Amino acid sequence: MEYTKQEFMAIVTGREIKDGQLIILGVGLSMLAGYFAHLNHAPDLRPFTEGGVYGSTPVGGLPWGIECNRISANATSFTNAIDALGFLVASGRCDNAVIGAAQVDKFGNVNTTGIWEEPPWKLGKYVPPRVRLNGSGGANDIAVGAKSYLIMASHEKRRFIEKVDYISSPGYLDGGDARERCGFVGGGPSAIISTLGILRPDPDTKEFFLDAYFPSTNVEEVKASTGWDLKVSPDIKMVPEPTEQELANLRTVDTTGSLRKKG
Amino acid sequence: MHNKLMTMQEAVAAYTWDGMTYCHGAAFPVGSDSVAFGKEMVKQGRKDLNVICHCGSSQVNLLAAVGAVRRVEVGFSGLEVYGFANGLNRAVTSGQTIIEDYSNGAMAFRFFGGAMNWPFVPATVNICNDQQWCSGDEPQVYPATAKIPTITDPFTGQTLGAFRSLRPEVAAIHVTMADIHGNAIMLGSEWSRFEMSRAAEKVVLVADKIVDTDCMRQYPNLVRIIAEVVDAVVYWPLCSWPQASCGLYDSDEEHMFYMNKAMKTAEDTEDYCRKWVRSYETPEQYLDLIGHEKIAKISATETAFLMDPYRKWIKSDAQVAELLDRAKG
């Protein structure tokens, strides 16, 4: 069965999503994972977007944006950002979410803001980034307010680093009870799903360890692709390959195959 | 209540100036935004702008690409699936434009604070991370303490971030339909247009369609922007193009990629402006430039049914022209 790394990552992320959850989804892989879950095993999933689009499933392929007509065509309600990110997420009502990351570190902190020659926290001053990314968007609000959330990222050493250049969306900060000390409503990231495996946080230290790896790789390769000394679960597992049904359901969402082309 | 219709040229001349704090909305990367208003600002040579936008869009991408933006406050600065905003990113990485980052939620809360005339808004987002500690306005200070100072909840003792409320001098807000007084109905996700219309000192609506006020009387619950807060109404069909407008047209995928690619360099940006910004004056010329085959294609949208309840109140171009003449009185 042929499938891409991106497709597998979306399916594995989707498997983490439970039926009945109130879930906020962003554009691209996040939406693909969410609507795959909706179609595959979570018929009563309650997905919404940070712009306030409720109750819809995309038509005509993956939406170009979270306000695109492909997601607006069969919505049951349109509201706004203060409703979606405030009344539902910041209030602590939202069960789950999926966010992306340009960089992620061992405590699940995410950078989607910029890449610096020397990170601001090293320089002791703020300077313009060498590469500007998108900013946090709603991911910071989700990271702070959702009961739990999932992080998706391509597993490369330059992305999985000891400490991110800039924390756009806080995971467990410097570990332990750091989130509690900040007074965040939400519980933090429950998993990092990469193109190589699944990482989960240690219950006490909150450092992410390798819980399972994809059939296409092995533990050594995952460790070598990680920029910190990645700990491995004593009962490390291999992630089951996508079933034909899962793949069919995923491609029913991604009808235009936009993520199949990405390899 | 008086007729607030005016031409795009008149609205930009009257409501924008160099050095102003300008807010555009809904400021979606891919959906509704007053993009045509931003193009007219480029034509009229506005510069030194302090731009506030919820999410960056093709509008701020263009304004930054031509060097018109001194500073921008955003929650998100990309173009979603269309990629990073090349013009804005070029301006930011070169140091020409200061970017002050917040989250989308924080921007919404700050508009709400402005609408309420509160000096600040307390929230737990954006704190304990670099959005709190890195400041484009205070590049020499890390961690920055003036961007999002912390305050203590007097009831529980919890630490919260204090967010400066937003009061833009002018907001140019895209709406699906408006009457000549400034009552408006928006289809699709609203983002922060409701709060933005109450937070801004002056509000210009840029509408895809002008409808009779009887339409508003039929759907008063849906009239989220009210004449009482609106200063001017501009009729400009396809005013969000190449972005989408729910119920009316899809984003123009081909042009979105083409436009963003052009924003990568100053030379290509100038070439783009010559072809697509400075080459028309009237809405008719603008539509001819986009091309009627293209318009038919993007107008065949899956959301077209959402417009059905409102169609009987839509004014024709001739009727709008007559109303515009009357407004000039």
Burial B134-163 (b: 16+ CB within 10 A, else e): bbbebbebbbbeebbeeeeeeeeeebbbeb
Contacts of B102 in chain A (CB under 8 A): 136
The closest of A53, A47, A18 to A32, measured between CA atoms, is A47
E-strand stretches of chain B: 5-6, 21-25, 49-55, 69-76, 98-101, 120-123, 150-152, 159-164, 170-178, 184-185, 202-210, 223-225, 232-235
The closest of A163, A164, A8, A138 to A85, measured between CA atoms, is A138
**Which site among B156, B189, B301, B308 would you substitute to test the A interface, given the most A Cβ atoms closer than 10 Å to its Cβ?**
B189
Q: Crossing angle, helix B58-65 and helix B35-43, to 10 degrees? A: 10
Lowest-pLDDT range, A54-58, A187-191, B84-88, B214-218? A54-58
pLDDT for A255? 86
What interface predicted TM-score (ipTM) does this complex get?
A: 0.96
Q: Average of pLDDT values for A163-170? A: 96
pLDDT for A261? 64
Site of tokens 């039929």: B218
pLDDT exceeds cutoff 80 at A43: yes
d(CA A125, CA B142): 5
Query: B108, A27: Cβ pair inside 8 Å?
Result: no
Percentage of chain B with pLDDT > 90?
95
d(CA B177, CA B188): 12
pLDDT single digits (tens) A73-111: 999 999 999 999 999 999 999 999 999 999 999 999 999
Contacts of A183 in chain B (CB under 8 A): 124, 158-160
Contacts of B26 in chain A (CB under 8 A): 67
Query: B189, A67: Cβ pair inside 8 Å?
Result: yes
d(CA B209, CA B323): 13
- Every domain of chain B and the residues it spans: 8-101+170-325, 121-164
pLDDT exceeds cutoff 90 at A186: yes
Chain A, nearest residue to B128 by Cα: A182
Query: B124, A136: Cβ pair inside 8 Å?
Result: no
Residue spans of alpha helices (H) in A124-235:
139-145, 178-182, 219-224
Band of pLDDT at residue A127, cut at 50, 70 and 90: confident
A50 has catalytic annotation: yes
Band of pLDDT at residue A257, cut at 50, 70 and 90: confident
d(CA B92, CA B98): 6
pLDDT for A122? 83
Query: A144, B125: Cβ pair inside 8 Å?
Result: yes
CA distance A234 to chain B (A): 32
Query: A126, B106: Cβ pair inside 8 Å?
Result: no
What is the pTM assigned to this prediction? 0.97
Distances (CA, A) of A29 to A24, A32, A241, B308: 13, 5, 18, 33
pLDDT single digits (tens) B136-158: 999 889 999 999 999 999 999 99
Chain B, nearest residue to A89 by Cα: B105
Selecting among A2, A7, A16, A50, the annotated active-site residue is: A50
pLDDT single digits (tens) B69-92: 999 999 999 999 999 999 999 999
Contacts of A113 in chain B (CB under 8 A): 101, 130-131
pLDDT for B205? 98
Domain B8-101+170-325, CATH = 3.40.1080.10
Phi and psi for A20 in degrees, rounded to 5?
Answer: 85, -10
Query: A67, B54: Cβ pair inside 8 Å?
Result: no
Q: Who's near B159: CB < 8 A, 6+ residues apart?
A: A182, A183, B127, B150, B151, B152, B153
Which structural domains are found in chain A, ordered by start? Answer: 5-253 (3.40.1080.10)
